[in-house]
Every structure is written in C-alpha cells, then in structure tokens.
Chain A
Amino acid sequence: MTNTNEAQLSEPGSPARVSRSEAELLTLTRALMAPGPRYLPALRHRPRRTPRLEKIGPTAMGLLQQTLARGVAFELLRRGGWQTRRTLVNGHAKRGTVWQRHRELPPLTFGPASFELLSWLRAEDVSSPKRELPQAARTTLADELLYYLAAEQIVRAGGVLRQPAFLRSPLCQLGYADALAGDEPLPKLDLRELARGEGAIVLEALQPDLCRRWVAMERAKGERAELSVMTQIGQAQDQVLASLFSALDLVDPRRRELASFLAEAARELLARGPERRCPDHRWWIGGLDLRAPLSARQSAFAASAAFLRGVAQLGRWLDEAGVVAHFDEDYEAAQLLLSSWQYLRSAPEPTEEAQIPATILDRAIRLANQLESLHSLGQPSELP
C-alpha cells in the first residue's frame, strides 16, 4: 500500500490521530474481520456517497496494516486453522493444527488490491454500487483472503457480489459460487495456486469454512423459485468444482485431500444427525416455480445436482486410491484419502428406510441420477 499524504504523526504515548475518512476506513476494516454473524450497516443504505479514498496518511496506514495483518491471520485460524486435521505436507501425511503441520505459515502481504477493496466498500452502497470494483492487476494471497472475508459481509448485507474483482478471485469462486452466478458464466480460473505452497496452506485452513458455505449453498437451493437462477447456480458450481478438481490433480504431488470440504458437506447434508437421515431429491427443487417449458425445468433440475455430482467424483477418487499399491509414489496420499473419507463409504446398521442407499456416496449418486432423470419431470402438481 502506498502513502503520500502528509504525516499526521502522534506524540509518543498519545492515541493515534487520523482523519474522519481514515477512521471510517479503519472501522470498516475491523468490522469486516469481526467474528460471528454481524451485519454491517455501513455496507449499504448510505444516503451520502462518499468520495473514494485515494490515499491515507502514515498513521492510518500503519494502523490499517496492523489491523489487516492481525485480523486476517486471526480469521484464518478461527475459520479452520485451529482444527486438528491430516493433510499432505511435502508428500507425507501430517496431523495437527495448521501451525503444527507447517513450520512456517504464509506471510500476509497486502497489496493495492486490498486498499482498493476497502476504499470501494467505504464509498459504495454494496446493494447498488455505482462503480464496479475492478479486477486488480495483481493480487497477493493476503488480498485474496480479504476478498473472501469481505464477500461474506457483502452477501449478508444483500449486496451485489458480481463485481469483476470477486468474479476473478479463486477463493470467492470456491466459497460463493451461488452469489457470483449470473447470466454470464464464471470466468474460468486456474486454481493451481491454491493447491500448492502457501495457497494450499490457506485452503487447508479454510476447509471447515468452505464446508459451511457449501452446506449453506445447498440448503438455499430448496428456497429458490426461479428456474433460470437455479440453472446459473448449478452451472457456476459445476465449473468451479471442475477447476478445483483439475488443479488438485495437476500439482505434484496431487492434493485431492484439499476437496475434503465437499466430503464434509456431504456428511452434513446426506447423513444428518445420529439417524443419518437423508433428504429425497425434491429437497433440492421443492421451491422451484415449475410453470415453464420442460427443457427449462430439466436444465434447472440437472443443475441443482452439481454438488452431488461433485461428491460422486470424490467416490471415483476413492476407487482409484483403493488400487494404489504400497510401492507406488502416491501410496501415502491414497491412504490419506481412504482414511479421511472413510465415512463416505461406511454403511450403518440396516434401517427401516431400505429404499435409501446406506452410504453417503451411494446416496449422492442416486440423488443426482434422480434429479437428472425423466422421472423427476412430472406434472407441476405432482411435485411439492
């Protein structure tokens, strides 16, 4: 971040002094990283459009850097870095929290993209922004994380996330495919930077948060009424999952375990509670207004199964992992998958609900087939 303003340095020991606009920017930045579901009224319904901040003074810049560095690092740990998990580190499975698995955590270097984002958030009403948030020429991993954190607050405030900067953010695509979906398909991104090095550490830490987002995305599908919206969301999900799966396979060593958030979301959605209850296919499409041509219905139904198709892909990876011999290079990675996702294939004691497959994987495959099949396209009156 650059600073060319006149210095407003404070006396040693006295509180830092910043201008009103700088104070607004700092308050907004802190609020973005406040834990918990907090609504930010500052993000919308601002009767007075404030001019965009171009630069800030050195005192404010120092405070902003401190707020971002501490806040984003804290959020990364709070959203999942604290969890004890098993991931691949240098090709070997390692168990622990993110700071136990990795001797060095990625340094957070915020660039002009972060300042542009904060300045945009301060100046615009996110529900009807007058100016787009442009795609930054270059973004750092820390900028990406800030985009991801800001996306949650914008969505919560009912804002428009389809801004060029968010559309081209790999983390935002992964976590907010539904909010980014629109008439135009999502830009195809190369997600390999999230599958190796520092990006992979961030993705490891965000697994529980991504799981929470995918569960929320799937739960919201039952409330969707417009077929075209469901189609767009499903296509966006299909695309981002395809990009992720491809990236996880293209890095060396392969990092398929970084798709664990999907497996965890499947467990939460398809094996609910101690009874391991599973919704039927109408759970995904029950809210749709079916007064439309069958072709539009079928597109929406098939799109609604995007997540389930993604889970089915995990099953194919499990099949492949099962035949990796002990002398193969990726034996440890295969064993990690088999043990981490064991619950996808485990069948409980037989229940009365014999018509529902016992394992999560079989349930996902069955539900996806049902949503894509002719059998789901009954008369509107036949469906709830």
Chain B
Amino acid sequence: MSRTYRIRISESLRRHVQVDDGIQSKLEILDILPPEQTAALLERELEGAGFEQREDGQWVRADEDGVEVRVDPQASTVTVSASADTDLDITKERLIRAYAENDATTRERGRQALEDELEAEAGEREKNLQAKVTSTLEGKLGDLRRELDQISNRVTAEALKQKAASIGEVQEVSEDPETGSLTIRVKI
C-alpha cells in the first residue's frame, strides 16, 4: 500500500505596476487673428483658469486626483492624462498530494500552477487599476469639456473684439451669456 504525502507550496509575486490613460483633442478656436495673437489670448485665459506655464511653452494644470491637463497654445491642442501606480505583493499557498516525498515533478507542476495563478491575479489587479484611472479621467471629462469650451468661447470673443477694433471704431458690444451670442457694432 502506497502512502501519499501532502506538500505545501508557497509562491509570491512582487511587482511595480504603472498604468496610464490619456486623450488629445483640438480646441475649437476660429482663425480670426494671426496664430501668435490667438495663442497670447489663450495663454491669458489659461492663466486665469489656474494653468501654469512650463519651460517647453505648454500650460499645465494637475488636480488632486492625478489628472493632468496640458495645453499647447501654439497648436491649440489639449492633452488630458492620468496615471496611477501600485506595488503588488501577492503570496499564495497550495497543498498538493504526491506519492513520494521527493517527487520533484509533482512539486514543479504545483509550483507552475501557482505561478500562473499569481500572474492571473496580478493581471486582474492591473486591469482594475487601469479601469480606475479611466473612470477618474471620465469623471473629469464632463467638467473639463465645459471649461475648455468656455475658454475657447472667451478667446474667440476677445479675438472678434480685437479684429473689430482693427477695422474701425467699436461703438457697441453686447454679449448674451445665455446663448453665447456676441454683437459688435463697428463704425468704419
């Protein structure tokens, strides 16, 4: 009669995981003034909205959730990104049965299965972290769209005023914040 042995196998996985997500879009600003003048107007608005200028000429704002908004005033592009990282430390144990005390094959098979489980769990956690980052970004997107639309509208309105002033004497400017319409009366 053969005896069975119960072998306890333990494996652990330590890994640093970093995930990110991001999108890029163009600000909808009409070409009313030369690009450098439009960029200057945009920079003024960005400063008012809490953006800071970096050495590369881009304007950046990061919030407490790690969402970074980066605007290139020259190209009128906006990049929104978020990232997160975590240290995974997962340990798993398993009891396997063998018919010999030094059954290396069974031990190796058990160890391999445990490693596969660890990899699968690490992958699952990474996916969850990715989903969390995406969700954070999505949550910010609605407010950000509105804010960027407002900035674009203000830049466009200011550009229109400057353009009007350059072609004649501005006699009257009326704005309707409800509809966003702007009426400029110019005497040429």
Contact = CB atoms under 8 A, between A and B. Distances in A.
Contacts of B145: 374-375
A294 B25 contact: no
Contacts of A292: 134
Interface in B135-168: 137-138, 141-142, 144-145, 148
Contacts of A377: 23, 138, 141
A144 B142 CA distance: 50
Contact of B137 (A294, A372, A373, A375): A294
A351 interface: no
A139 interface: no
Contacts of A373: 25-26, 28
A298 B79 CA distance: 12
B25 A378 contact: no
B22 A295 contact: yes
A41 interface: no
Interface string A346-384: 000000000000000000000001001111011100000
A378 B141 contact: yes
B37 interface: no
Contacts of A273: none
B38 interface: no
A293 interface: yes
Contacts of A298: 23-25
Contacts of A379: 138
Contacts of B24: 298
Contacts of B130: 293
A293 B21 CA distance: 6
Contacts of B25: 298, 372-374
B148 A294 contact: no
A298 B138 CA distance: 12
Contacts of A295: 21-23
B56 to A, nearest CB: 21
A375 B27 CA distance: 11
B23 A374 contact: yes
A323 B23 CA distance: 38
A267 B58 CA distance: 41
Q: Chain A CB within 10 Å — which of B23, B138, B142 has the most?
A: B23
A297 B23 CA distance: 9
Interface in A271-291: none
A198 B14 CA distance: 65
A72 B173 CA distance: 68
A298 B130 CA distance: 16
Interface string B43-61: 0000000000000000000
Nearest to B139: A379
A297 B141 CA distance: 14
Nearest to B27: A374
Interface in A290-306: 292-295, 297-298
Contact of B134 (A293, A372, A374, A375): A293
Q: Chain B CB within 10 Å — which of A297, A373, A374 has the most?
A: A374
Nearest to B24: A298
A374 B22 contact: no
Contacts of B144: 374
Contact of A294 (B22, B26, B78): B22
A378 B146 CA distance: 13
Nearest to B145: A374
Contacts of A375: 145
Interface string A72-102: 0000000000000000000000000000000
B81 to A, nearest CB: 9
Given A295-B21, A374-B148, A378-B142, 18 more contacts: A293-B21, A293-B130, A293-B133, A294-B22, A294-B23, A294-B141, A295-B22, A297-B23, A298-B23, A298-B24, A372-B26, A373-B28, A374-B80, A377-B23, A377-B138, A378-B138, A378-B141, A379-B138
9 contacts: A292-B134, A294-B138, A294-B141, A373-B25, A374-B23, A374-B78, A374-B141, A378-B138, A379-B138
Interface of B: 21-26, 28, 78, 80, 130, 133-134, 137-138, 141-142, 144-145, 148
